[in-house]
Structure 1
Amino acid sequence: MSDPKRAAMAYGRFGKTEKPGKEGNVEKDKEQSPSDESSSLRGFLKKGIAGNPYRKAAKLLLLLGKEQAARILAHFSTDEIEKITREIAGIKRIDKEEAKLLFDQFGKAEDKAKAVSGGVEVARSMLEKAFGRDKGDALLEKVIPFGGEKPFSFLEEIESQQIFLLLRRESAAVIAIVLSFLSRKKSGEIVKMLSPSLQVETVRRLARMERVSPSVVASIEMKLQERLHAQGRVVTEEVDGQAVLASILKQMNFREGERILDTLGEGDVVLKEQISKRLFTVDDLLRISDRDMQRVLRDFEDREIALLMTEQNDEVKEKLFSCISDRRKLFVQSELEILGPLRRDEVDKARNNFLAYVRGLVERGEIVLSDDHNPLI
């Protein structure tokens, strides 16, 4: 008889006694002494039970109650105990109907059937009653590491930036352990924040990691929880740094803003160009005097002006129309009517070209922008 069947059928004759001369007939619920229970476990195992044998054994033990289950569990082999314990921990609930079927199948009185629950703590209690706290906990830890809870789960609710702040002074070994339990997305975000040398070492340790001691994991988890509690939860928002800088520069004197941009451009030309585009927007056209705007518009074709007006607010359109003659206004309106569907890149290109041209005139001092401190007269 194979061990798996024995695990499921260990109760094959437990709680059953055969009447003399009537082999196979079962008398239900006759009490047995501990020695009888031991004999029952070593007896002939019942055949023909379908499904996972360890799961059926686990369900039966749950139905019998912790005290009785603990006595029975002690007679299984270590391998069988581990497999049954894993099943007990994974069983959420056995309803009354299923309990009746199981009791009937194993020869117990159905009127004693009732709904029961399983779970990690129930498995822990059974093991402790059967083998004592130390051995019971050791068996459970081997079968269900970390008590069935995913380590560092509290970090999943925290932003990656704060996790990085918690880990930045840790070694690559500790960081690798923590990242191995986090989601791939969050781990990837944190790795990007590490210094190049720490990235390489952390990734190397992750690749070579096989098994981590639960006690080590528990120690790191407790340390991070204490540090998080002391640090306080930091809630951050995504910030568009370039937009913020452009907004600040707009509030400054134009020449001072230019000086800051020029200094920035000495180290990063591309960044300067990106901020310059944000620094001067379509709304800034409203800060140009009508006379200067008339001069600017004379350098552009009617179609280019029509493209510039596309998707603009009424205030900008009114500003542009007010700075061209009535005759040219008709031509621009005609262009607007015949433009039809336009590609986004075509509209963006027309707008950017116009703004770049105007900004060049401003930088050279050929036209002036008004501001709250120095309005145009």
Structure 2
Amino acid sequence: MTALNPRQKAAHVIISLGADVASGIFKHLKEDDIEKVTYEITRQDVVMPRLSEQVVEEFYGLCVAQKVYLEGGVSYAKNVLEKAFGVQQGTALLDRVTKTMRTKAFEFIRKADYKNLMNMIINEHPQTIALILSYARADQASAIISELPMEVGLDVIERIAKMDRTSPGIIRQVEHILESRFAAVEAVDLLDVGGINYIAEIINNIDRGKEKMIFDELNIRDPKLSEEIRKRMFVFED
């Protein structure tokens, strides 16, 4: 396919859908996005049928990928997409959708003051705290982990470091509950999930005294994990 930027691809899809459908789509777009897409549409003097067909096929694939991902989770989506589009294209579609969904999930907590966030999650199970902090900003997560009881903080650190993929259904459920709690609080300050790199960045922002205590305990509980986190921390510092 000829290299097209996202706005050019959007223009091809809009043209292919026709004026009636396009007008309905425009109602859901921001003014700035409408202007950009409209500009690209006006530049399409000649629409190449094969190119438009390829763009629409890609768009359709992404729509299907997002639908099955949200309805059935990662494993189900992977199975459906690979059967529908083949292993290579199915995997690529799933990767694009999961990255997009990650940036959207828990967006409201990244705008919150860490103290408000901590008050909301302090009594949750460590696995739930780990999931939420995996979507928080690193400075928020660092501040919260620093103020958690040592045993709970270590448990959360381990769970974030070992976290891989979580069911979209569980993420939506936790996100909905947490967002409802924030909605009830008046003083909210309106801004890779988990893994070794992320927890290394978090601990890099924790004061050295607390950091030493964390590693002293982590060396006892999981020496290999402790060493791996230390290695990644040096990378971030460099």
TM-score when normalising by structure 2: 0.48
Asked which structure has the greater CA Rg, the reply is: 1
